[in-house]
Amino acid sequence: MKMIIRGGRVLDPVSKRDEIADLYIQNGLVALPFEADSSTQIIDAAGRLVAPGFIDMHVHLREPGFEAKETIATGTAAAVRGGFTGVACMPNTNPVADNAAIIEFIKNKALEAGRCGVYPVGAITRGSQGKEMAELAGMRESGAVAFSDDGQPVKDAWMMRLAMQYCKMLGAVIISHCEEKSLVAGGVMHEGYYSTILGLKGIPAAAEEIMVSRDIILAAETGCPVHIAHISTAGSVALVREAKKRGISVTAEVTPHHFSLTDGAVADYSTNAKVNPPLRGEADLQAVLAGLADGTIDVIATDHAPHTYDEKNVEFDLAPFGMVGLETAVGLVWSELVHKGILTPLQAVAKLSFNPASILGLNRGMLTEGAAADITIIDPDLEETVDPAKFAGKGRNTPFTGRKLKGMPVMTIVAGEIKYQRSQKSGVRSRESEVRSQNEGTV
């Protein structure tokens, strides 16, 4: 149970460490330096980035109820292939994760899969129907890390206020899906130039911004921390920035597709580019990039939303919202943000590891002595063309097919055990013959 990761560029957001160094692991924890012996596994990480394990705080694992789209086993396989050592899964399953029994079911299935950490998010209201508050205390006791009706907004302001009051007492964060349904009104893409020329009903930016405003006001009143999911508009970024200046406990996340694509990606009626919130205009994308750079946006999360081929292979109006993201996220972060100078490697690592862990109250996202040995190793120069046929997850619904990404995860270590390793030609070499790695596969 001993490992030395040799000669990588170690990035630790907590200590602000950014240096070429060896990292020592013993009994599943980051350790002080020790002498290698015959049982020590040596990982050659020269030219690679060694970071705390990445945590995606917004994924849809679909189980229970929608196993044709994804399962906890396949979703966590996609996670470790994408460089994630932990994922927080949303409650819009069937049945909805609105009670302790389903939270326990998810945790047990994750243990059976044995790939990475799975942190369940409980529903705010029963059945995510917005009418009656769910069993928040029971779910919290069973391991729910946060509460959200993601997939649906909590329309009733009184209900959201009550939920925030309870979550304040429970020490839990509310993850808000900000969408004013009366403004969405059957919209299928961003309201703007492309919706007009394509003849598709648009979703205005105000549909998001009104709810962002409401939940910031409620967070200020109740003192409950609120996390804005999948932020997408310039107005929302400005609202969060101002709220932070006022000392309100608000954080925000953005998806890779919202900082990489605009609504122009829908120009050929591609249903794989149909997401909620929709891909926005160029001004919104630039505002999101500015929010990432200045710290307004704390987290990068995928909103991984797998669907079957048949579900997406229909007319645009009829297709479900959502795209997969676990296996392309790191490559997009490095290609679009790090290599372009918008974020430093250390800033990017913080938004993928320590920041989501801190918001969810997890003791993760750091490389200090005694920390859990969850490690993501990245080759910043490795180029790869997105090929959904190679995905470990069930979903293939991505608009990034054929796109060349630079900066890919090459090894994922969970509690000191290698759970994913790219092929040897990717450059990460292990001396331990007992590591049963597979080319382009999980261990």
> For 152-206, what is each residue's pLDDT tens digit?
999 999 999 999 999 999 999 999 999 999 999 999 999 999 999 999 999 999 9
Give me the pLDDT at residue 96, please. Answer: 98
According to DSSP, residue 133 is labeled B
What's the chain's average pLDDT? Answer: 95
Q: Across residues 349-377, what is the average pLDDT?
A: 98
218: Cα separation from own chain's centroid: 25
- The more confidently predicted of residues 432 and 379 is 379
The CA distance from 128 to 97, in Å, is 9
Exposed, middle or buried: residue 212 (CB in 10 Å: 0-12, 13-18, 19+)? buried
Catalytic residue among 215, 303, 374, 379: 303
Q: 46 pLDDT band (50/70/90 cuts)?
A: very high
SS3 18: strand
Give me the pLDDT at residue 427, please. Answer: 44
CA-closest candidate to residue 42, choices 359, 433, 431: 431
Q: Across residues 402-415, what is the average pLDDT?
A: 98
Instruction: Assess whether pLDDT exceeds 90 at residue 71.
Output: yes
Give me the half-sphere count of Cα atoms (radius 13 Å) on the Cβ side of residue 364.
32
Give me the pLDDT at residue 436, please. Answer: 34
Q: Across residues 405-424, what is the average pLDDT?
A: 94
Q: 426 pLDDT band (50/70/90 cuts)?
A: very low
Q: Are the beta carbons of 248 and 223 closer than 8 angstroms?
A: no
Tokens for 207?
Answer: 């549909």
Instruction: Assess whether pLDDT exceeds 80 at residue 318.
Output: yes
303 is annotated as an active-site residue: yes
According to DSSP, residue 53 is labeled P
Q: How many CB atoms lie within 10 A of CB 268?
A: 9
Strand 2-12 versus strand 226-228 pairing type: unpaired
Give me the pLDDT at residue 439, please. Answer: 35
Q: 438 pLDDT band (50/70/90 cuts)?
A: very low
**Which of 133-171 are b and which e, b meaning 16 or more Cβ less than 10 Å from the residue's Cβ?**
bbbbeebbebebbbbbbbbbbbbeeebbbbbbebbbebe
Instruction: Assess whether pLDDT exceeds 50 at residue 434.
Output: no
Instruction: Assess whether pLDDT exceeds 60 at residue 40.
Output: yes
pTM, two decimals, is: 0.95
Q: Across residues 338-342, what is the average pLDDT?
A: 98
Instruction: Tell me: cis bond preceding 95? Omega within 30 of 0 counts.
Output: yes
Instruction: Assess whether pLDDT exceeds 60 at residue 442.
Output: no
Q: 424 pLDDT band (50/70/90 cuts)?
A: low
List Cβ neighbours of 220 (8 Å cut-off, separation of 6 or more): 243, 246, 248
Strand 2-12 versus strand 41-44 pairing type: parallel
SS3 281: coil
Give me the pLDDT at residue 423, please. Answer: 78
Instruction: Assess whether pLDDT exceeds 80 at residue 428.
Output: no
CATH code given to domain 55-360 = 3.20.20.140
The CA distance from 376 to 63, in Å, is 26
- Range(s) of the chain covered by CATH 2.30.40.10: 2-50+371-442
The CA distance from 429 to 427, in Å, is 6
The CA distance from 256 to 222, in Å, is 31
State percent of the chain over pLDDT 70: 95
Tokens for 80?
Answer: 């470790």
- Range(s) of the chain covered by CATH 3.20.20.140: 55-360
Of 2.30.40.10, 2.40.50.100, 3.20.20.70, 2.40.50.140, the CATH number of 2-50+371-442 is 2.30.40.10
